Amino acid sequence: MSIFNYGTDHLTIGICLDIAAGKTKGIINANAEKAIRTSWREVEKIVHAQHPVYGINTGFGPLCDTRISEADTSLLQSNILKSHSVGVGKPIPQEIAKLMLITKVQALAQGYSGVALETLERIIWHIDNDIIPLVPEKGSVGASGDLAPLSHLFLPLIGLGEVYENDQPIPAGALLKKHNLQPLILGPKEGLALINGTQFILSFAVKAVQRLDDALNRADLIGAMSLEGLMGSARPFDARLHAIRPFKGTKHVAQRLSTLLDGSEINTSHINCDRVQDPYSLRCMPQVHGASRNAWLHLKELTEIELNSVTDNPVIFNADDTISGGNFHGQPLALPLDYATVAAAELGNIADRRCYLMSEGRYGLPKLLTHNAGLNSGLMIPQYTTAALVTENKTLCFPASADSVPTSLGQEDHVSMGSISGRKLHQVMDNIEYIQAIELLYAAQAMDFRRPLKSTPVIEALHSLVRKHVPFINDDRVFADDINNLHQLITNGVLLATADEAAVENHINLSHDEFGIY
């Protein structure tokens, strides 16, 4: 198992996900330990010196001018976890909560937050043992950090709240007793350091980068299958065309599509046909898929910066140099998450158009992709579902970051709402996975009408995979079963793994380092 050093190593999205999956172990090395202990001692100096420093010996938010006695500084920190635990709604996925733990350790281990080493070690214990706190999905405005969700995340440190063990929620107090552990007594600044930060927004962003990356890769693969079924042209993917409008995402998609179609019998069979040009949903795949890839690149870049940032407040440089600033504000991620939501939705919009195109009965395909239309409806209605899903996605594209509701008696008078941006993006991704499953159903059926002509190794491998799970459609059946079978191939990663295996076996390069998550 590879090792990651919290607070000193550079954390990437891929490494973060690997720690969550148990493939990489995160530790605190000697250098990080020294920085953590030094910061802790500086906070102790502040407490003893009794000059006011926000959140250490003062109240919080609009109570920042209220002085707290040295004797009450520890009680202050446990109180903030209790009072700020106001989340509502369903629990977030355990993986997201685990990512929150990981990203919080990375931020605190850099030594600017004044937390005790023992506190970080307890959080790492939760990570290593896969004992994940239960965190409600709603309640953060994404400004003073993700206060409500982070409070719920760290209630178990003081023996409160709930945790999952073996996927079952149990009271944290009972869990600690079971493992012979005592609740922590938080020191000055610790409660505030735990709940100030963007780790809720950030963890949704980390997972979104992975999910959108997968969706973008599938969009090219399934789009290429649809193009083959519709006997579309590969000429719009010529590298020369994209060299004179060199957006990174566009060039990458064009290269992938060109490579995927290189040597296709289907494609070469109609090179000299009299069709002048294809509809936009085919020939503009580099521009549309590529624009979404550009948005993905932006989200990845900013997410990785945030992964290695200190988003606490106040920041402790030393006992005489503390800054109460705004590193906890979620706006730097809220905006790109909203942008990525539109980018994800566009993958669904163009996929829906290709489904419709394949059902029209054009370019030698039978209407509704069935020979027995009339008695059978064929693939008429699955496109209704894509239409419903793309419209639902459009309603989710309103940018949460465009809104702000003042909180904390006006002290926090501009907030990011980035937590909503992150959750909405995942709702759109859920719909995209179903839309892509439906396009896959159409594309495989359309390709069958081009037999005995064959496509290329990667596309043929995907077609064979579909046919192992969904037979050719001769007569009407319950198509929801087919859609769910294909959806499972998408969500369990089998579709992309099959494409990757076929590419490796046939020495086909479909990747580029810049479009990776490590």
**Rounded Cα–Cα distance for residues 329 and 404 (Å):** 12
**Rounded Cα–Cα distance for residues 61 and 408 (Å):** 6
Q: How many CB atoms within 10 Å of residue 5? A: 17
Which residues, listed in sequence order, are joined to residue 316 by a DSSP beta bridge?
322
Asked whether 185 and 211 are in contact (CB, 8 A), the reply is: no
Site of tokens 């896959």 = 440
Q: Read off the amino acid at residue 99.
A: L
Which residues, listed in sequence order, are joined to residue 58 by a DSSP beta bridge?
67
If you ran DSSP here, which 8-state letter would residue 278 be given? -
Q: Is 167 in a helix, a strand, or coil?
A: coil
Asked whether 5 and 111 are in contact (CB, 8 A), the reply is: no
- Residue 27's φ and ψ, nearest 5 degrees, are -135, 165
Q: What dihedral do alpha carbons 311, 426, 84, 305 form, nearest 10°? A: 0
Asked whether 43 and 188 are in contact (CB, 8 A), the reply is: yes
**Rounded Cα–Cα distance for residues 8 and 467 (Å):** 49
Task: Identify the active-site residue in 6, 54, 112, 434.
Answer: 54
DSSP 440-499: HHHHHHHHHTTTT----HHHHHHHHHHHHHS---SS---HHHHHHHHHHHHHTSHHHHHH
Residue 434 among the catalytic residues: no
Determine the distance from the C-alpha atom of residue 356 to the mean position of all C-alpha atoms in its chain, rounded to a whole number. 29
With a CB cutoff of 8 Å and minimum separation 6, the contacts of 246 are none
Which residues, listed in sequence order, are joined to residue 165 by a DSSP beta bridge?
168
**Rounded Cα–Cα distance for residues 63 and 411 (Å):** 9
Site of tokens 């020191």 = 187
Q: Is 291 in a helix, a strand, or coil?
A: helix
Cβ-based burial of 490 (10 A; exposed 0-12, middle 13-18, buried ≥19)? buried
Q: How many CB atoms within 10 Å of residue 173? A: 16
**Rounded Cα–Cα distance for residues 91 and 85 (Å):** 13
Which residues, listed in sequence order, are joined to residue 162 by a DSSP beta bridge?
171
Asked whether 223 and 351 are in contact (CB, 8 A), the reply is: yes
**Rounded Cα–Cα distance for residues 517 and 496 (Å):** 15
Which residues, listed in sequence order, are joined to residue 322 by a DSSP beta bridge?
316
Site of tokens 């290709």 = 354
Residues with a known catalytic role: 54
